[in-house]
Chains A and B, each alone.
With several copies, the nearest count.
Chain A
Amino acid sequence: MRQVFLDHQSSTPVLPEVFDAMRPYFTEYFGNASSLHQHGLRVRDALKRARQQMAALIGAESEEEIYFTSDGTESSNLAIKGAAYANERKGKHLVISATEHPSVMNSLEFLEKQGWTCTRVGVTPQGMIRLDELEAAITPQTVLVAVHHVNHDIGTIQPMREVGQICATKNVPLYVDCEASAGWLPIDVKEWGAAMVSFSPHRFYGPKGVGVLYRNRKARIVSVIHGGVQEGGRRAGTENIPAIVGGGVAAEIAQERLSQRVTHVAPLQKRLWEGLKLNVPYIQLNGPEPGPDRVATNLNLSTEFIEGEGQLLLCDMNGIAVASGSSCVSKSLKISHVLGAIGLDHALAQGNIIMTLGEANTEADIDYVVETFAKIASKLRGMSPMWDEFEHGVIDSVIAPTGRGKSFSQHAAEVSGKPAH
């Protein structure tokens, strides 16, 4: 069976060059960067090189602005809580977009329990932050604005330059989560005037176990993991040297191959969406059309009248790895809050499937996915009472309304006794 990995947003394989670079740091150069002898000093050098590679990827001025954490989540936590605690005297208010990653959203919820307040700025149906609302949300007590570069679920590219200008005018530091864009879109921290930027190499063919936080010299943060004085006192704990070394090499390669990678995936993204649109009735793309407003790797789809997990499992049984933001695949039984924030009808949120492309995908892969996915959708619709009820005019389609029948959500609420969430 053909194997097609279409979940590059979840993780990517480590490149052979990256693995080769990491390799000696497990067995031979195994020192701790805090040690003052050969073994420590050698890995310090390696750390510095990796910082330079990370700095180069995002246009940072100096490698001293790069801090290593364990992953993207920890970087978000450090950016949000680190800035909140460091600037408590100025105020206890933060502003974020409503479609930030849970690592940002939940860091904020934690702070809210400790007395901070937070404004969540709404987005358009395409997932674009509402700039006027952002501007209005910033108060003299605001110590941080957090707006991600690209949304992890729906691939929307945010207008970072405009966001940066608003923050600069209001003189509030800006944190940009670049986990879903680094390695796939050019990033220039200076152009945005970003105080902090985070990303994680395992999204661009680097290893897991390392996250990056860029912090502009002027931005004040305190650490959130306390202990020794590693990472300039901003992140305690023994550095994960092999992963950092590998991440640095992955960043260097990502910078070199960025346009080549995009040139490869962008046509596949279009081919996949065109193919699905043509072969699967009642399917919708969430977020912007492929083009300048959407990262070239991501398609976020809603297949109407069927649920996401079933689609995902049948894809998997056919060798196709995909993700879903439907409530059935989440451990909390809630749909992705991003789908809620763009105002997606619950029926469509339930049928959500996320496909994310990478450099190993081919046109033949795409054609196989289109063909297979059409079969899967029709198999699941054959089992779905909703498809039946749509065909009998009991409920109507959200994607292509016929004017007959009630809405899916109304029907679902009637049979379950409560509106779904």
Chain B
Amino acid sequence: MSETYTLYNSTVMEHFMNPRNMGDLKDADGVGEVGAAACGDIMKISIKIKDGRIEDARFKTFGCGSAIASSSMATELIKGRTIDEAMSFSNQEVVDALGGLPPVKIHCSVLAEEALKAALEDYVKRNPSAAAKAATTDSVAA
């Protein structure tokens, strides 16, 4: 076979084959682990916060190709964002940055959003002062 056919587009495939930010963060400031009841995928995102910004992010994912690619892309996207910015992060950003996902796989990007928010929540819980600042956004409580 000369041509290569792929289930996902080339960006998704690239992130699946060579995921960015794969692993755990030693001394993470926040860790979120979430699961998709629908399909059984599990995603864990660790973040390092410095001066109110996400300095570093890592993921580990038990899930399909698009779940791995989504977590890779999500961790890429959020690096450098403030906590507030990160709090309003949406899965659509992941989908767009990946150049689209099959409809049945959109939930993978949602899982990435949830994992990130869980990590932020964890950070906020550990750092009540940050919590006070972030309390203006509803998404934390949600």
Query: Which residues from chain A sit less than 8 Å from chain B, CB to CB?
Result: 3, 36, 38, 41-42, 44-45, 305-310, 313, 317, 327-329, 331, 333, 335, 346, 350, 382-386, 388, 411-421
Given A317-B17, A415-B34, A383-B40 contact (CB < 8 Å): no
A418 touches B37 (CB 8 A): yes
Complex: chain B residue closest to A306, CB-CB: B62
Residue pair A313, B5 in contact (C-beta under 8 Å): no
Q: Is the CB of A383 within 8 A of B5?
A: no
The reply to whether B16 and A313 contact each other, CB–CB distance below 8 Å, is yes
Tell me which of B37, B43, B104 contacts A417 (CB under 8 A). Answer: B37
A310 contacts B34, C-beta separation under 8 Å: no
B60 at the interface (CB under 8 A from A): yes
B6, B40, B43, B67: residue with the most chain A Cβ atoms closer than 10 Å: B40
- A385 lies within 8 A of B64 (CB): no
A416-B39 Cα distance, complex, nearest whole Å = 10
Known: A41-B7, A384-B61, A416-B37. 6 other contacts (CB 8 A): A42-B1, A327-B40, A333-B39, A382-B22, A386-B42, A418-B37
Once A317-B17, A385-B44, A385-B60 are accepted as A-B contacts, the answer to whether A45 and B5 lie under 8 Å apart by CB is yes
Chain B, interface size category, equals 20 to 34
Q: A310–B5 contact, CB under 8 A? A: no
Q: What chain B residues lie within 8 Å of A309 (beta carbons)?
A: 63-65
With a 10 A CB-CB cut-off, give which of B16, B43, B62 has the most chain A CB atoms. B62
Shortest CB distance A413–B (Å):
8
Q: Which residues of B contact A (CB under 8 A)?
A: 1, 3-7, 16-17, 19, 22, 24, 33-44, 60-65, 67-68, 104
Q: Kindly name the residue among B17, B37, B64 whose own CB sees the greatest number of chain A CB atoms within 10 A.
A: B64
Structural contact, A310 and B68, CB atoms closer than 8 A: yes
Q: Known: A38-B5, A385-B44. Is A328-B39 also a contact (CB below 8 A)?
A: yes
A383-B22, A385-B44, A386-B42 are known contacts. Are A412 and B65 too (CB-CB below 8 A)?
Answer: no
| A42, A313, A419: the one within 8 Å of B37 (CB) | A419
* A333 contacts B104, C-beta separation under 8 Å: yes
When the two chains form their complex, are residues B68 and A333 in contact, meaning their CB atoms are under 8 A apart?
no
Once the chains bind, are B41 and A328 in contact (CB under 8 Å)?
yes
Q: Which residues of B contact A328 (CB under 8 A)?
A: 39-41, 63-64, 67
- Known contacts A317-B17, A331-B104, A333-B104; A383 and B1 CB within 8 A of each other: no
Q: List 7 A-B contacts (CB under 8 A).
A: A307-B41, A307-B62, A328-B67, A412-B35, A412-B40, A415-B35, A420-B40
- Asked whether A41 lies within 8 Å of B37 as measured between CB atoms, the reply is no
User: Across the interface, do B34 and A416 meet the contact criterion of CB distance under 8 Å?
Assistant: yes
A385 touches B33 (CB 8 A): yes
Most buried by A among B3, B17, B34, B35: B35
CB distance from B45 to the nearest CB of A (A): 10
Chain B residues near A350 (CB-CB < 8 A): 40, 62
CA gap between A419 and B39 in the complex, in Å: 10
Chain A residue, CB-CB nearest to B16:
A313
**What 7 A-B pairs come out closest when comparing CB atoms?**
A416-B35, A41-B5, A309-B64, A328-B64, A418-B37, A415-B35, A385-B60
A28 closest partner in B (C-beta): B1
Please tell me if the beta carbons of B35 and A41 are within 8 angstroms of each other in the complex: no
Q: With both chains docked as a complex, state the minimum distance between the C-beta of A391 and any C-beta of chain B, in angstroms.
A: 12
Shortest distance between the CB of A125 and any CB in chain B (Å): 21
A41-B6, A416-B42 given as contacts; is B37 within 8 A of A307 (CB)? no
Q: Is the CB of B1 within 8 A of A36?
A: no
Determine the distance from Cα of A44 to Cα of B36 in the docked complex, in whole angstroms.
Answer: 28
Taking a contact as CB atoms closer than 8 A, the residue among B5, B33, B39, B64 that contacts A420 in the complex is: B39
Min C-beta distance of A62 to chain B, whole Å: 15
**Contact (Cβ within 8 A) B39 A327:** yes
Do residues A310 and B37 form an inter-chain contact, with CB atoms below 8 A?
no
Q: Which residues in A have their C-beta under 8 angstroms from that of B17?
A: 317
Say how far A7's CB is from chain B's closest CB, in angstroms: 14
A45-B5, A310-B68 are contacts. A420–B37 as well, Cβ < 8 Å? Answer: yes
Query: How close is A39's CB to chain B, nearest CB, in angstroms?
Result: 8
Cβ contacts under 8 Å, B36 to chain A: 416
**Docked-complex contact B1 and A3, CB < 8 angstroms:** yes
How far is A412 from B44 in the complex, measured between Cα atoms in Å? 12
In the assembled complex, the Cα of A327 lies from the Cα of B108 at a distance in Å of 13
Residues of A within 8 A of B22 (CB): 382-383
Contact for A310 among B1, B3, B24, B63, CB less than 8 A: B63
- How many Å lie between the Cα of A329 and that of B1 in the bound state? 23
Contact of A383 among B3, B33, B35, B60 (CB under 8 A): B60
Partner of A386, one of B1, B34, B38, B62: B62
- A383-B60, A412-B40 given as contacts; is B65 within 8 A of A38 (CB)? no
Q: Min CB distance, B85 to chain A, in Å?
A: 25
**How many angstroms from the CA of A333 to the CA of B7 in the assembled complex?**
16
A229 to chain B, nearest CB (A): 10
- Residues of B with C-beta under 8 A to A313: 7, 16, 65
- Residue of A with least CB distance to B40: A420
Residue in chain B with minimal CB distance to A35: B7
CB of A383 within 8 A of CB of B68, answer yes
In the assembled complex, the CB of B121 is this many whole angstroms from the nearest CB of chain A, namely: 13
Q: A421 to chain B: which residues have CB within 8 Å? A: 37
